[in-house]
Amino acid sequence: MVPQPFIQFFNITKIFGKNIVLDSLNLDIGYGEIYGIIGRSGSGKTTLLSILVGFIKPEKGRIFFKGQEITSDLPDSVKQQIGFTAQEGSFYPKLTVKENLEYFGTLYNLSQTEIRDKIPQILKLVNLDKDENKISAELSSGMRKRLDIACAIIHDPKLLILDEPTEDLDPLLRKEVLNLLKKINKEKDVTIIMTSHLLEEIEQVCTHLAILHDKEILIEGTLNELKDYYSNNQEIILQTYSGKYSWLIKALKEKKEVNKVIESDGKLLVYSPEAESILRFIMQELQSNNEKVLDVDLNKPSLSEVFESLIKENVQINRDNKKES
């Protein structure tokens, strides 16, 4: 029996004015996962999260939380199980660290005793236990992000949603925050959904990911599944002096071993599980056509390359569709 997803988006469409932001989007997120949603800026990541926390409503589609359909406003029982951090810190800068936690703890229906007990634990978890009486505005960027996360988990949510959690942080602080997320996921058994356009950090922390592009999910799965899928292909990166590849693309597309051919920025990207034989074929073709090679490389794709190729492939398909129509 297939386990029920923790969160299920079904056929979600969101329109702002005349602009379709999400179009018939489907996504399943399982229990205990650290789910990364990657996509370019403006691809609809924040909108998707805002729908999930009930801040905005989709025009179409259904959302299931632990199998229960959310039909109207997000019920308080569901809100109680969700923690959220936005791109910028959602706390009061003029209150102290402790006062912010007390305030949001109360709003999340915690009793005064529970708040008193939880604050030291949470502060220790986010490594702010020595700064509880500091005014929040006086904290460093990394501390602020940790306080924001602390505010989001004060009520022990089952689902923690983070919108670009490492935005504007330096690499060290970024690593610190990502480690904290792993710690929360492990120690508190919290399902985490995070968005980012920084693929390295998604690669570093997420167990699952989805690529959101052009209003829809292009691909989703575990990181290993995606890597495995793309590790079957090797990537040939070719650059010639002329930079004209149309004749070569046509020739490559006739080859069964070639899975994808993408032309981008004067370069040709070719994906194939038999990259070495294809590379030989390319060199022969170039020689017979008197094309001089400027640069050539053979790689196993990283996540960012997977992302780029998928995006480019999607762009290519769209172009082809337009030409056909």
Partner 1 sequence: MYKLIEIIKKNLKLLLRSKSSALIVLLGPLFLILLISMAFNTTSLYDIKIGTYSGSYSELSNSIIQKLNQDEFKVVKVDDRDECTNKIKSNDLHVCAIFPDDLNINSKESIEFYVDESRMNLVYIIINSISTKVSTKSTELSTALTSTLLNSINSADAKIGESSEKIVKLSVTLSEIKTNIESIRATLATSLNQTANVSLLSEKADELNMSGAAGELINDYRILTNSLISKLKSSQESVSTLNSASSDIDAQITNVNDVSSELSEVKSNFNSIEIKEVSKIVSPISTEIKPITSQSTHFAYTFPSLLVIVLLFSGLLVAATTIIEEKSSKAFFRNFITPSSSALFIIGNYISNLIVVLFQILVIFASLYLLSSATIPAEIVTNLVLIILLTSSVFILLGMLIGYLFKSGETANLAVISLACILLFFSNTILPLETLPMAIRSIAEYNPFILGVNALKEILLFKSSLAAIATQFYTLLIYVVMLIILVYVVRLFSKRRYVE
Q: Which residues bind partner 1 (CB under 8 A)?
A: 16, 50, 53-56, 74, 76-77, 79-80, 82, 84, 86, 88-95, 99-100, 102-104, 106-109, 111-112, 135, 151-152
CB of 74 to partner 1, least distance (A): 8
CB of 108 to partner 1, least distance (A): 6
CA 67 to CA 60: how far, in whole Å? 18
Residue with tokens 């994808």: 260
Q: Is residue 325 within a helix (H) or strand (E), and if so which, with residue range? A: none
CB of 250 to partner 1, least distance (A): 47
Nearer to partner 1, 88 or 228 (CB): 88
* Contact (CB, 8 A) for 185 and 32: yes
CB of 324 to partner 1, least distance (A): 36
Nearer to partner 1, 5 or 54 (CB): 54
Nearer to partner 1, 193 or 223 (CB): 193
Shortest CA distance to 124 belongs to which of 95, 103, 104, 153? 153
Identify the burial level of 219 via C-beta atoms within 10 angstroms of its C-beta, where 0-12 means exposed, 13-18 middle and 19 or more buried. middle
Nearer to partner 1, 69 or 88 (CB): 88
CA 109 to CA 102: how far, in whole Å? 11
* Contact (CB, 8 A) for 244 and 73: no
CB of 106 to partner 1, least distance (A): 4
Identify the burial level of 152 via C-beta atoms within 10 angstroms of its C-beta, where 0-12 means exposed, 13-18 middle and 19 or more buried. buried
Nearer to partner 1, 64 or 92 (CB): 92
